[in-house]
Amino acid sequence: MFSAKTYIDRRSGLQAAIGSGIILLPGNDDTGMNYKDNIYPFRQDSSFLYYAGIDRPGLTFIIDADNNREILFGDESTVEDIVWTGSVDSLVSQAARAGIADVRPLSQLPGFLAGNKQTIHFLSPYRADITLKLSSWLDIPAAQIPERVSVKLIKAIVAQRSYKTTEEIQQIEIAVNTTIDMQLKAMQLAAAGVTETEISGQLHAVAIAAGGHISFPVILTTNGQFLHNHPHHTPLQQGQLVLCDCGAENAMRYCGDLTRTHPVDKKFTTAQRDIYDIVYQSYQAAADAIRPGIRFKDIHLLACEQIAAGLTALGLMKGDPREAVAAGAHALFFPCGVGHMLGLDIHDMENLGEAYVGYTDTLQKSTAFGLKSLRLGRELEAGFVLTVEPGIYFNPLLTDAWQAAGKHTSFINYEKLAAYRNFGGIRLEDNFLVTAEGSHLLGRPFARTATEIENLIASL
């Protein structure tokens, strides 16, 4: 936990932004895998954690802006709980460390809310148990919960959580450095005959050993052309590329998110290096462009143009790269966005809605293939933390569909592309803080060019 002052300051900022009414922040509960008590690793809701600081299930926090008071609803462990789980800090002492003095039994919450005439601000739930609770507490049919969400509360939270403080950046760097350890482990283990699941298991081990967990499901695959392909129980083969997109969540729940792509054979082939170098150029152009005031959508388009230019030079695309990007032809190779916000969530604040987090009232998300997967488009500001992650993907299913439909034949050289059918995919991803001057790369120094990666693998 941060100091009580951190949480008190955040809450007073939120209360000032909301002005009146009740801010209702339900924490997450445990979720059963195959029955109620066989639980997934507990993950607290990030906004609850940001304002109330307490990382345990069964809590709901209320800020009553009308009466300038805060109440945490939750129950202490019983002696019988302690037989099973051991002693834990009392809830009252945890609350005190977050600057919260008023702790009441959970059973008093429904009565507190029932018949309350104040405006109640709440966020859109992403777990059904929260929907059920809100429905019951507020006497709103479950299906109507989404339309009763407080946009004012969403905007106020986004306006705070988007700007990372020094103490938050320290936590993110811890997570990024553990993520580098995960990447090193993947490079160390990758060899013909080793399975994807063996490596993935070791990536979990690194994250858990560091006192946290993985920040999102591990992507460790020789089928990098599928953007979120998860590890299979299949052995790596000579000649393949391993795409490893993984992240650690540290003990404070801040996230890292890095991608490296490396050859099973420890050396890139010429064809692999050609594509890698284009991805790297795209990455570097995007990274160099980060500064306050630039729209991230423009950085995305810049990265796309680098990809189109590189593929045109290789003969896989043709025509003018800028025109190709404007037409959307590059999206065959790069069908997603070049990055997203990062913080307590790996896609930071995604549950609050991309329209509010990554876009603004004046810049709305495109619906075009490719651009519609760009989670962040707005003007950057100092304090934002984000990923840069261009890639080139040779997806045979998508290629077949486009070719059959005759799509973008003036920009794509389908004939030449046939040789790349089994190439796979390459992605390169780092995490950056936007600073007043430009940007700061997060984490300790780590290989990113093809040569650096080959040298690093040779040294492991």
Rule CB under 8 A: is residue 371 a binding residue for a copy of itself? no
CA dist 418 to 221, 331, 405, 408, Å?
A: 22, 17, 16, 16
User: Given the rule CB under 8 A, which of 78-86, 279-287, 301-309, 426-434 is the region that contacts a copy of itself?
Assistant: 78-86
**Nearest distance in Å: CB 248, a copy of itself:** 11
Measured between alpha carbons, how far apart are the two ends of the chain, in Å?
A: 36
Question: 214, 228, 175, 201: which is closest to 40 by C-alpha?
Answer: 214
Q: Establish if 193 lies at the interface with a copy of itself (CB under 8 A).
A: no
* DSSP track, 140-193: --GGGTGGG--HHHHHHHHHHHTS--HHHHHHHHHHHHHHHHHHHHHHHH--TT
Q: Which is nearer to a copy of itself, 2 or 216 (CB)?
A: 216
By CB under 8 A, is residue 132 in contact with a copy of itself? yes
Residues 34 to 53 in contact with a copy of itself, rule: CB under 8 A: 34-41, 43-46
H or E stretch covering 22:
strand 22-26
Stretch that binds a copy of itself, among 51-59, 89-97, 209-217, 414-422 (CB under 8 A): 209-217
Question: Any idea what DSSP says for residue 121?
Answer: E
Query: Which stretch, 24-32, 173-181, 298-306, 378-386, contacts a copy of itself (CB under 8 A)?
Result: 24-32
| Residue whose structure tokens are 């049919």 | 141
Q: Is 147 in the site for a copy of itself (CB under 8 A)?
A: no
Give the interface segment with a copy of itself, choosing from 167-175, 203-211, 278-286, 322-330 (CB under 8 A). Answer: 203-211
- Least distance (Å) between residue 9 CB and a copy of itself: 23
Residues 314-333 that bind a copy of itself (CB under 8 A): none
Pick the closer one to a copy of itself by CB: 32 or 315.
Answer: 32
Among 15, 94, 183, 202, binds a copy of itself (CB under 8 A): 202
Q: What is the DSSP letter of 317?
A: B
Report the nearest approach of a copy of itself to the CB of residue 177 (Å).
16
398 binds a copy of itself (CB under 8 A): yes
Planar angle of CA 296, 299, 300, nearest 5 degrees: 90
Alpha carbons 197 and 241: distance in angstroms, whole number: 15
107 sits near a copy of itself (criterion: CB under 8 A): no
379 near a copy of itself, rule: CB under 8 A:
no
Nearer to a copy of itself, 35 or 107 (CB): 35
Among 6, 165, 195, 366, binds a copy of itself (CB under 8 A): 195
Distance CA 222, CA 230 (A): 10
Residue window 233-252: x/- pattern of binding to a copy of itself, with contact defined by CB under 8 A: x-----------------x-
Contact range with a copy of itself by CB under 8 A, out of 84-92, 171-179, 358-366, 384-392: 84-92
Binding a copy of itself (rule: CB under 8 A), the pick from 15, 282, 395, 399 is 395
- The single residue among 63, 176, 207, 242 that binds a copy of itself, judged by CB under 8 A, is 207
Q: Which of 5, 68, 87, 115 binds a copy of itself (CB under 8 A)?
A: 87
Distance between alpha carbon 424 and the CA centroid of its chain, in Å? 23
On whether the CB atoms of residues 380 and 359 are closer than 8 A, the answer is no
**105, 211, 237, 444: which one binds a copy of itself (CB under 8 A):** 211
How many chain residues interact with a copy of itself (CB under 8 A)? 70
Helix (H, G, I), strand (E, B) or coil at 391: strand
d(CA 117, CA 18): 17
**Comparing C-alpha atoms, which of 269, 250, 254, 246 is closest to residue 389?**
246
Q: CA 157 → CA 22, 86, 160, 281, 330, distances in Å?
A: 14, 35, 5, 35, 35
DSSP state of 372: G
Under the binding rule (CB under 8 A), the answer on residue 405 touching a copy of itself is no
| Helices (H) then strands (E): counts for the chain | 16, 15
Integer Cα distance of 357 and 350 in angstroms: 7
Which residue, 79 or 436, is less far from a copy of itself as judged by CB?
79
Of residues 130, 121, 116, the one with CA closest to residue 44: 130
Residues near a copy of itself (CB under 8 A): 28, 31-41, 43-46, 79, 82-87, 126-129, 131-132, 135-136, 142-143, 195, 197-198, 200-202, 204-211, 216-217, 223, 225-231, 233, 251, 335, 344-347, 350-351, 395, 397-398, 401
